[in-house]
Amino acid sequence: MVNIDEKSVLDSVAKTLFIGGKWRSASNGAVFKVEDPSTRLTIAEVADATAKDASDALDACVSVQNSWANTPPRVRGEILRRAFELIVARSDELALLMTLEMGKPVAESKGEVAYAAEFFRWFSEEAVRINGDYYTAPDGNARVMTLRQPVGPSLLITPWNFPLAMGTRKIGPALAAGCTVIVKPAEQTPLCMAALMSILEEAGLPPGVVNMITSSDPGAVTAPLIGDSRLRKLSFTGSTEVGKLLMSQASGGLLRLSMELGGNAPLLVFADSDLDKAVNGAVFAKMRNMGEACTSANRIFVESSIVEEFSQRLATAMSDLKVGRGTQDGVQVGPLIDQPAIDKVTSLIDDATSKGARVVTGGSKLDMSGYFYSPTVLVGVESTWRIAQEEIFGPIAPIYSFSSEDEAIAMANNTNYGLVAYLFTENLNRALRVTEKLETGMIGLNQGLVSNAAAPFGGVKQSGFGREGGFEGINEYLYIKYIAINHKS
Ligand code: NAP
């Protein structure tokens, strides 16, 4: 099943830990398997770190923290810039690797590789703009001086759904700020992160500044690190449930935290929208990454006068999508990540249909070797059902109907999550009114995509806190030091 290109890409990646600039096996020699979700075949065996390996990684961080923080910002930036260029030069290989371990179609993987690279370019430019301030206090005597300094050794934990970009979105600002890091990628997708470690090494990053531990038992390796007083920062992207657990662990050492957690994005379509734009935007916001994105449109609210037409058009667009192994030409929708993902989607559909929802298209697992589920449109869904309250993380578009702007806003905000919302309307005043009232950290206005390395990505409510990307992203890895001066006395 694995062809020659696939084999050479898989062979080219180290399957070991990266600690203190050295590639090495787990201290007990253990490994775990990585599966291709489109075939269910094992494609690699990767080192399974122990708590001792994790502690070695922190030793490495601590030993070079001062020298890295004192490395000129221009030099730090130039290393990131070289890493950006290496990612771009290897985008075909990285994209294939991503498709093999995660399943998304190669065209989408290429999009993620470009997005991932962009964080290194952006933060290579931000590394030289870590400024402070100097001003006169209101009494006319005191002077206030501020510096921004690196927070120190940081643990970065990333999910499987964007195997490369969720890493560069943290590593880029951390390195630019002068922090050393340990990266813990998801068990299902460690290979892209290993490839990234090689790129950073080749770009000239000194040993120990970046370290990677891979594990099949994440709590066992990260809890001791989080409890170690030498660690100063935890940045986590993943589920709200695990985020809460890590926050409670981090309270012992009062770690600086960034939490990029789950979403339950509403997508609002008003009757005054451009319907072509709204349908295309909905397909994109729903189906990017097979619906396995924190930004995925989870609840589609459509004004009652156009709900029938919109549902039909969305169903046609969804049923036209070609599902298959992500390495095949023309495939637009790959497999879900694993059997639990299929089970979750199936149980949400079963729950909704048993309560009266109607499947317009899709609605079943596909009879293929991997974890494939058909793109699905559901109508007649209600806001109190599980499918409205939980993250679907799959290719299901449930459509709800509303009859006024206030009702649409209330329905959209009726969730504990608050990452992103999408809004389709050609009425400028409505667009401004509604965006101000939606309780989310980001809004896609007449578009189904918000991700941009130059913009502050992040949520409110139980979608977390902190911002990644944009001018704000580097602040997650800096603290402000204030120096009190009174030169008149
Ligand atoms: P997850 O189960 O929370 O896992 C995320 C990461 O945490 C993985 O590396 C995982 O390792 C690790 N982890 C799990 N349990 C842990 C523990 N007890 N201690 C330490 N680490 C632990 O989430 P996921 O299924 O990988 O990713 C999907 C979730 O991520 C969704 O909720 C999605 O919305 C969210 N997400 C949010 C954003 C954002 O920017 N807001 C972006 C992407 C994804 P293992 O892989 O070994 O379990």
Pocket-testing residue among 34, 101, 157, 260, ligand 1, by greatest number of atoms within 8 A of Cβ: 157
Ligand 1: atom nearest CA of 159 is 26
Minimum CA distance residue for ligand 1 atom 22: 218
Dist. CA 140–CA 360, nearest whole Å: 70
Give me ligand 1 centre to Cα 81, in Å: 28
Q: Give the residue among 143, 145, 148 at the shortest CA–CA distance from 131.
A: 148
| Atom number in ligand 1 closest to CA 160 | 26
In the numeric block, the tokens 């694995």 are attached to 2
Tokens of 142: 């005191």
Q: How many CB atoms lie within 10 A of CB 359?
A: 18
Ligand 1 centre distance from Cα of residue 234 (Å): 13
Question: Which residue CA neighbors atom 10 of ligand 1 most closely?
Answer: 186
- Same domain for 273 and 256, yes or no, is no
Domains in the chain, number: 2
Same domain, yes or no: 232 and 306: no
Owning domain of residue 304? 265-453
CATH number at residue 165: 3.40.605.10
> What distance in angstroms lies between residue 290's CA and the mean position of ligand 1's atoms?
17
**Protein residue with least CA distance to atom 30, ligand 1:** 238
- For residue 458, tell me if it sits in a domain: no
426 and 473 housed in the same domain: no
Structural tokens at position 448: 């189904």
Q: What lines the ligand 1 site, CB under 6 Å? A: 157-162, 166, 184, 186-188, 218-219, 222, 237-239, 242, 245-246, 260-263, 294, 391, 419, 459, 463
Q: Does residue 157 sit in the same domain as residue 306? A: no
How do strand 181-184 and strand 154-157 relate by DSSP bridges? parallel
Specify whether 361 is located in the same domain as 232: no
pLDDT at residue 488, as a whole number: 83
**Per the domain annotation, does 459 fall within a domain?**
no
Considering the domain architecture, whether residues 417 and 273 belong to the same structural domain is answered as: yes
Could you tell me if residue 242 is inside a domain?
yes
- 370 and 441 co-located in one domain: yes
Q: Which helix (H) or strand (E) holds 136?
A: strand 133-136
**Cβ contact 256:234 at 8 Å:** yes
In this structure, the answer to whether residues 191 and 337 fall within a common structural domain is no
Task: Quote the pLDDT of residue 4.
Answer: 64
Catalytic residues: 260, 294
- What are residue 266's DSSP bridge partners? 299
- Choose which residue among 157, 242, 249, 255 to substitute to test ligand 1 binding: the one with the highest number of ligand atoms within 8 A of its C-beta: 242
Q: Measuring from atom 21 of ligand 1, which residue has the nearest CA? A: 218
Spatial separation of the C-alpha atoms in residues 15 and 263, rounded to whole Å: 32
Q: How far is the CA of 341 from the centre of ligand 1 (A)?
A: 13
254 and 306 together in one domain: no
CA 262 to ligand 1 center in whole angstroms: 9
- CATH code, domain with 341: 3.40.309.10
Cβ(88)–Cβ(319) below 8 Å? no
Residue 488 lies in a domain: no
d(CA 469, CA 477): 12
Q: How many whole angstroms from 287 Cα to the centroid of ligand 1?
A: 20
54 inside domain: yes
pLDDT (0 to 100) of residue 1: 44
Measured CA to CA, the distance from residue 349 to residue 373 in angstroms comes to 12
Q: How many C-beta atoms lie closer than 10 Å to residue 225's C-beta?
A: 23
Give distance in angstroms: CA of 215 to centre of ligand 1: 13
Position in ligand 1 atom list of the atom nearest CA 459: 41
**Residue 239 sits in the same domain as residue 288:** no
Q: Closest ligand 1 atom to the C-alpha of 215?
A: 47
Same-domain status, 332 and 421: yes
Ligand 1 centroid – CA 463 distance (Å): 13
Q: Which ligand 1 atom sits closest to the C-alpha of 222?
A: 20
Mutate to test the pocket of ligand 1, among 32, 213, 294 (most ligand atoms within 8 A of CB): 294
Among 162, 187, 239, name the best residue to mutate to test ligand 1's pocket (greatest count of ligand atoms within 8 A of Cβ). Answer: 239
Return the biggest CA–CA distance within the chain. 81
pLDDT by residue for the chain (489 residues), tens digit each?
457 699 999 999 999 999 999 999 999 999 999 999 999 999 999 999 999 999 999 999 999 999 999 999 999 999 999 999 999 999 999 999 999 999 999 999 999 999 999 999 999 999 999 999 999 999 999 999 999 999 999 999 999 999 999 999 999 999 999 999 999 999 999 999 999 999 999 999 999 999 999 999 999 999 999 999 999 999 999 999 999 999 999 999 999 999 999 999 999 999 999 999 999 999 999 999 999 999 999 999 999 999 999 999 999 999 999 999 999 999 999 999 999 999 999 999 999 999 999 999 999 999 999 999 999 999 999 999 999 999 999 999 999 999 999 999 999 999 999 999 999 999 999 999 999 999 999 999 999 999 999 999 999 999 999 999 999 999 999 999 999 999 887
Is 1 part of a structural domain of the chain?
no
CB-based contacts of 231: which residues, under 8 Å, 6+ apart? 58, 152, 153, 154, 155, 225, 253, 255
For residues 413 and 328, what is the distance between their CA atoms, to the nearest angstrom?
A: 39
Exposure string (b/e) for 289-305, b if CB count within 10 Å is 16 or more?
bbbbbbbbbbbbbbbee
Same domain flag for 239 and 363 = no
Residue 487 lies in a domain: no
Q: Considering the domain boundaries, does residue 18 fall inside one?
A: yes
